Structures are given as C-alpha cells and as structure tokens.
Structure 1
Amino acid sequence: MTEPYRIREAAIWAQARTDYLSGLSAEAVCRRHDLGLSAFRRRARKYGWRRSDQVEPPPGELDLNLYSDLDMDDLARTARLRFAEAVEGGRASDARRWRALADELTREARAFDRDFFRGMSREEVAASMENMRREIEEEDEALLGPPPED
C-alpha cells in the first residue's frame, strides 16, 4: 500500500533545502521533515539544490548547528526506530548496532535528567517538564503556525 499524498508548507521545504545543502543526506532530510523521497528529489532537481554549488567550510570546521534542535531523547528514539527497521529487514548486525546505540543514548539522557532535576520532587519535575513541553509547542507554533485540526 502506498503512503497518502502529503502537502508540506513552504517553510518546511525551505528548512529541508537548508538541511540538505548543509550536508544531510536526502533520506535523512525526508525522515526529519516527513517528506517523500521522490518529491524531495524532484523539487531539488527543479530548483537546483546542488551541494556542489555550495562553499565548502575549511577542513576541520564542521557546522553542527544543523543538529542543535535534537536532544538525547530524540536521538535515542531515532536509534530505536532504526533498530526496528533493521529487525524487520532481517539485518541482524545493523539491528545489534542500533540497539546498542539506543541503549547508550538512553543511559546518557537519563544521567543528564538525574543531574538536571537533582533535588526536585516528582511533582516539581513533572511541572518543569510540562513547562518545557509548552514552551517548545509555543516556539513551534510561532515558527510554523498553529497545528492542523484533526
């Protein structure tokens, strides 16, 4: 069964273009922005999104700002999804590596949380997490507009 047709806003395509020209693979850009790979490649070809036209940074100076909005929980979640894909695809060695990475990222995220929330009660932690979630939603809405209604 094919996936349903998806229409994305111009802001999403602009961010996808920026991510692609910054060095992410087309597949990673499509996963990150929930875009179809053939639609992405068609748009890249139509509008001339070519990495070869970009100015290369000097050796040793990688711009990692592309990943600034990802946290350890996001990375662990992505690794778990890759683990599931590898298992379904019968790629045992890939699955083993993705599982190990997901476990390590989860341990690091939990260690960070323990340090960050040290001395707080469960209720204070829950309130703080809810506050952070709300702030992220407000930032997203300011950048992308209100979420579509169900």
Structure 2
Amino acid sequence: MTQPYRIRESRIWAQARADYLSGLTAEAVCRRHDLGLSAFRRRARKYGWRRSDQVEPPPGEIDLSLYEDIDLDELARTARLRFIEAVEGGRASDARRWRALADDLTREARAFDADFFRGMSHEEVAASLEGMRREIDEEDEALLGPPPED
C-alpha cells in the first residue's frame, strides 16, 4: 500500500533537522515527525544536513533530554505496532525482535507501576491514575487550547 503524499510545515522540518543533527537516526526522526524517509534524505542532501559537520560533544556529555517525554508504556506500544508491521510485511526475524522488546518493555513498565503504587488499594490506584490523566489534560489544554468540538 502506498503512502499518501504529505506536505509538512517548515517548523516540522526544522525540528526534524535539529533531531537528526543531535544524533537521532534518519529512521527515528521520520517516525517521530511522521515524515517519509526518502523525502527526509532528499531534503538532508539538498540542504547539507551532515552530522559530520557538527561539533562532537565530549564523551559522557551527550544530551539525552530529547527523550524525556517518552514513557515505557508508549515505547511498549510502539514496539507492539512495529511487531505487527513486521508480521504483516513477512519479516519474521524482525517481528521476533520487536515482540521480545515489547514484552520486555511491558514487564518493566508493570514492575515500575507495582513499585510506584505499592501498598495502595485498587480504588486508590484508579483514583491516582485519574488524577494524573486530568493533570495531563489540563496541561495540554493550557498549552494547546481546548480540543476541537466534534
């Protein structure tokens, strides 16, 4: 199935450029910003986005802050989707690796949750999660405005 032609705003391309030059792979940048890999490579070649031209940070001073907003549940979901994509594409070895990664991430997320909510009843956990969701929704609305009406 072919992907539809997508036009992206210049700010998205600027973010993609910054992510790529900071060390993300072209494939990771394209997944993060929903860009086509060939379009990304074409633009990088045209505008000279070369990591070799960047100043190398001293060892141990790599900035990993661009990954701060990604949680284990989101990573596990992405790995499951990649597993499905590999199965549908007939890539069994890739599917096996994605499935193992998804399972590992899910186990790690559950272990974190068990430790975080230790000693709380089921009702207290549900109330805590609802409060967290409400806080996230309020922060999103403050940053992005109210969601559009259906």
TM value normalised by structure 2: 0.79
State the SS of the aligned residue for 2:57.
coil
- Whole-angstrom CA distance in 2 between matches of 1:43 and 1:103: 36
Query: Using a 3 Å threshold, how does the CA distance of structure 1 residues 100 and 129 change in structure 2: closer, same or farther?
Result: same
The alpha-carbon distance between structure 1 residues 98 and 107, as it changes in their structure 2 partners (threshold 3 A), is same
Q: Are residues 72 and 136 of structure 1, via their aligned partners in 2, closer, same or farther at CA, if it must alter by over 3 Å?
A: same
* Structure 1 equivalent of residue 77 of structure 2: 77
Work out the CA distance in 2 between the residues paired with 1:111 and 1:94.
26
RCO higher in 1 or 2 (8 Å CA, sep ≥ 6)? Answer: 1
1:50 deviates by 2.2
Stretch moving more, 124-133 or 3-12: 3-12
Asked if 1:107 corresponds to 2:74, the answer is no
**Identity within the alignment, %:** 88
Deviations 1:87-142 (A, max 9, x none): 12222222112111111110110010011112223333223223323433444455
Matched, 1:55 2:55: yes
Q: Which residue does the alignment assign to 1:116?
A: 116
Matched ranges for 1:1-150 at <5 A: 1-141=1-141
Shift of 1:76: 1.0
- Unaligned segments of structure 1, at least 5 residues: none
The two structures have a TM-score, normalised by structure 1, of 0.79
Please identify, of 87-96 and 41-50, the stretch whose mean Cα deviation from structure 2 is larger: 41-50
> Residue 22 of structure 1 contacts residue 66 of structure 1 at CA under 8 Å; is this kept in 2?
no
In the alignment of these two chains, the number of paired residues is: 150
- Deviation of the 1:81 alpha carbon: 1.6
Distance 1:126 1:53 in 2: 50
Is 1:11–1:144's contact at 8 Å kept on the other side of the alignment? no
